[in-house]
Amino acid sequence: MPEPLRSSARRPRGRPLLAGTCALLTAAAVAGCGSAAVGPPVLNFYTPADNAEGYAAAAEACTAEAGGRYSVVQQTLPKSADDQRLQLARRLVAGDTAVDLLGIDVTWTAEFAEAGWVQQLPDDVAAQVTDGTLEGPLATATYQDALWAAPLNTNTQILWYRKDLAPTPPATWDEMIDASERLGEQGLPSYIEVQGAQYEGITVWFNTLINSAGGQIVDEDGNVRIGEGQAAQQALDIMQRVAASPASDPSLSVNKENDGRLAMEAGTAAFQINYPFVYASINTPPPDGGGGGTFIDDQGKPSATDTGRRVIDEFAWAPYPAVNAGEPAKPTIGGLNIAVSATSLHKDLAFEAMQCLRNRDNQLRNATEGGVPPTLEALYSDPSFQAEYPAWEAIKNSLDNASVRPQTPAYTSISIVLSDMLNPPAAIDPAALAPQLVDQVEAAVKSEGLVP
């Protein structure tokens, strides 16, 4: 943006100043717009920072496939989902026409649709997207019986654990807390890593627990269901016990996904509730990944010296622990859907590119290189995928049992309110908090209350 700098070199004086000022401001204003490049339309595809290389590769592949009719350019958004939403939403409310395709978190579908920021899928596109796509991910792209986005990746949490510390993986949260406390008493790595920071992650934890206990936060029609039955109290009770246990990670109340992964790789955690990226990470050499984790000694404690044994040698996975024994957990479904911006100047081409970006090859690349599970059902029975993705079965099962987060335009408000009230988890008083959650979530659903 050289214009403003150049014009400011001369200092206008007296009367010409006003004119100079205006010229300066105008120059700076138009400099950003630039002139449209000649050639086929450029579709900007905004994606999260995680796996940006994968999305960029898909954009290139689709540009090649389009044969010169359009090109797709991948643009990277911030790493945290909150910041991504903030940036996308601000640009869309400002009417930015340079946003064509956007990777939106599964929880934003209702909000973006209701606000008119994204375009509903035309019937033919919707039919093609629906065909062969897993049901859970499709549900996350649906709002009021219409499809507003196309599932690109899905995501789900499973239990990652150290098989030297826990030969049989815990099947329930009670078992896991007991096991952790026993390990702590023996002075062994004992942490249960889960997302306890005040952000979306703790809402996901709560959503999984309340659904696993047979409850729900908000139903499909927007009615608040937290207060019904004992599910909320059960969920709150587990969260409080995990956080307050003497064997728990003292940083739990600020931990996000990456902190859990780091603690596991550093050898201080025995259990970790996390997404499949942790598997890709521990297998990636440093500095980008964990490089197999730290060395561990005979007992399983982290060791500064080369013991010939690393965390990865004991790294294993199992289904998400249940709340009630015998009732499988209902892990919250995550992932990324592609939507077409309502401000795009090339919506038809964008819908075409949308389908290309989520085709088999691109989803396979995202899975094997970025560690995010695909949304095309056929891939899960594909031997080449299974070979690259050893945890596929646990993940597929988890997806089949998945629970969806509340699909209301006010979801973000609900999540902010929940994450504020649930954090720090060690301070939760289940009996007192449950009724407060009902009040606050009810205000948030109607977008009447404040968000903290």
Partner 1 sequence: MSIESAPAPTTGSTQVGAPQGRKGKPVRSEGKRAERRLGLLLAAPAAIIIVGVTAYPILYAIWLSLLRYDLRFPADQAFVGLANYATVLTSGYWWSAFGVTMLITIVSVAIEFVLGLALALLMHRTLVARGLVRTVILIPYGIVTVVAAFSWQFAWTPDKGYLAALLPDGSAPLTDFASAMAIIIVAEVWKTTPFMALLLLAGLALVPDDLLKAAQVDGAGAWQRLTQIILPMMKPAILVALLFRTLDAFRVFDNIYILTQGSNGTGSVSMLGYNNLFKAFNLGIGSAISVLIFLCVGLIAILFIKLFGASAPGSEPTGRR
Partner 2 sequence: MATTGSEDTRTRMWWGIAGLVVILYALIPVLWIVSLSFKTTDTVTDGNFIPRSWTLDNYAQIFSLDIFTSALVNSIGIAIISTVLAVVIGTMAAYAIARLDFPGKKTLVGVSLLIAMFPQISLVSPLFDIERAIGLFDTWPGLILPYITFALPLAIYTLSAFFREIPWELEKAAKMDGATPLQAFRSVIVPLAAPGVFTTAILVFIFCWNDFLFAVSLTSTQRSQTATVAIANFTGASQFAEPTGSIAAAAVLLTIPIIIFVLLFQRRIVAGLTSGAVKG
* Chain residues in the site for partner 1 (CB under 8 A): 15, 17-18, 21, 82, 86, 89-90, 93, 111, 114-116, 197-198, 250-251, 253-254, 409-410, 412-413, 416, 420, 423-424, 447-452
Of residues 75 and 403, the one with the C-beta less far from partner 2: 75
Burial label, 110 (beta-carbon count in 10 A; 0-12, 13-18, 19+): buried
- As measured in angstroms, the least distance from the Cβ of 243 to partner 1 is 11
Distances (CA, A) of 340 to 14, 117, 126, 333, 382: 50, 9, 13, 22, 29
User: Closer CB to partner 1, residue 378 or residue 450?
Assistant: 450
Residue 423 C-beta: closest distance to partner 1, Å: 6
- Nearest CB to partner 1, comparing residues 137 and 409: 409
Instruction: Give the pair of three-digit tokens for residue 37.
Output: 């490049």
When the beta carbons of 351 and 389 are compared against partner 2, the nearer one is 389
Order of strands across the sheet that contains 269-274: 191-193, 269-274, 158-162, 315-318
The distance in angstroms from the start CA to the end CA of the chain is 37
From CA 272, how far away is CA 132, in angstroms rounded?
32
* Nearer of residues 79 and 90 to partner 1, judged by Cβ: 90
Binding residue for partner 2, selected from 120, 128, 233, 258, defined by CB under 8 A? 258
Considering only residues 260 to 299 of the shown chain, the ones binding partner 2 according to CB under 8 A are: 261-262, 277, 281, 284, 286-290
The binding track of 5-34 with respect to partner 2, each residue x by CB under 8 A or -, is x--x--xxxx--x---x--xxx-xx-xx--
Q: For residues 50 and 259, which CB has a smaller minimum distance to partner 1 in the complex?
A: 259
The torsion defined by the Cα of 279, 280, 283 and 286, in degrees rounded to 10, comes to -120
Least distance CB 214 / partner 1 (angstroms)? 30
415 touches partner 2 (CB under 8 A): no
Task: By CB under 8 A, tell whether 79 contacts partner 2.
Answer: yes
Residue from the set 90, 123, 219, 327 that interacts with partner 2 by CB under 8 A: 90
Q: Is it true that the peptide bond before 12 is cis, omega within 30 degrees of 0?
A: no
Q: What is the dihedral of CA 104, 107, 111, 117, to 10 degrees?
A: 10
Kind of pairing between the strands at 334-340 and 101-105: antiparallel
115 binds, among partner 2, partner 1, none (CB under 5 to 8 A by kind): partner 1
